[in-house]
Amino acid sequence: MTGADRPIWAVTPTYNEADNLPELAERMSALPEPPVLLIVDDGSPDGTGDIADRLAADHPGRFLSLHRPGKMGLASAYLLGLQYALDNGAEVVISMDADLSHDPAVIPAMLERLTEADLVMGSRYIPGGGTVNWGPDRLLLSRAAGMLVRLASGVGASDPTGGFRAYSAAILRQAKFREVRQEGYAFQAEMLFRCARAGGRLAEVPITFVDRRAGRSKLSRFIIVEATLHLFSLAARRIVGWRP
């Protein structure tokens, strides 16, 4: 599959997002300058991959699809998508969820901030940001995770575990993102840490995170345990002055 001749791409991993992907595609298409949307599907049994293929066939150069044989994990899907985008000429790569929790309408603001930064993060916890349909336990977990990542990594981002981000191609390469092996929260924290340790300039824009309306969350106990253990790795590497 060939990439489109456009420098801005967005990557969204999918697993059973048939109820959400069509609306995401509509919202992306409504942007003044829509990025190429690369859909990386993990063999969804609900037909998500078929929807992705139809989008790619009906709108060549605007939507692309990659298929994997089964559920292989969010992080590896992102790594595949990021590398594919870079290999096909992307100068900016946006990471985002397919479940409509990340509003594509924020992308223009992210791209504007990227003119003065290397990584722009959508933040739920700066003025103008927030969450919708979250209970107090979920909010507490997210806040606590963010605080611990800041303490361990030394990176002052207000929402370091969030996944709605815009990366410059240069900072992805400098961060050596292909070496990341973590999943879930730990994956997002590791990507941020690598970008910061590579000298990347960070910026944040407010987002309202709307919890999924359809489908099931992919958050698991393993992801939470891995993220907790990953904090020790962040702290140790920060102390010794590690660079990617």
The identity of residue 119, as a single letter, is L
Contact 207, 106 (CB under 8 A): yes
Comparing CA positions, the residue from 88, 236, 97, 82 lying closest to residue 171 is 82
pLDDT the model gives residue 227: 74
Span 156-205, pLDDT tens digits: 999 999 999 999 999 999 999 999 999 877 999 999 999 999 999 999 99
* Domains of the chain from N-terminus onward: 8-239 (3.90.550.10)
Give, in order, the Cα–Cα distances in Å from 108 to each of 37, 44, 113, 165.
15, 30, 9, 12
pLDDT the model gives residue 29: 97
Over 80: is that where the pLDDT of 47 sits?
A: yes
Contact 85, 93 (CB under 8 A): yes
Span 209-233, pLDDT tens digits: 998 655 455 555 666 677 788 999 9
- Kindly report the three-state secondary structure assignment for every residue of 164-198: CEEEEHHHHHHCCHHHCCCCHHHHHHHHHHHHHHC
pLDDT the model gives residue 217: 52
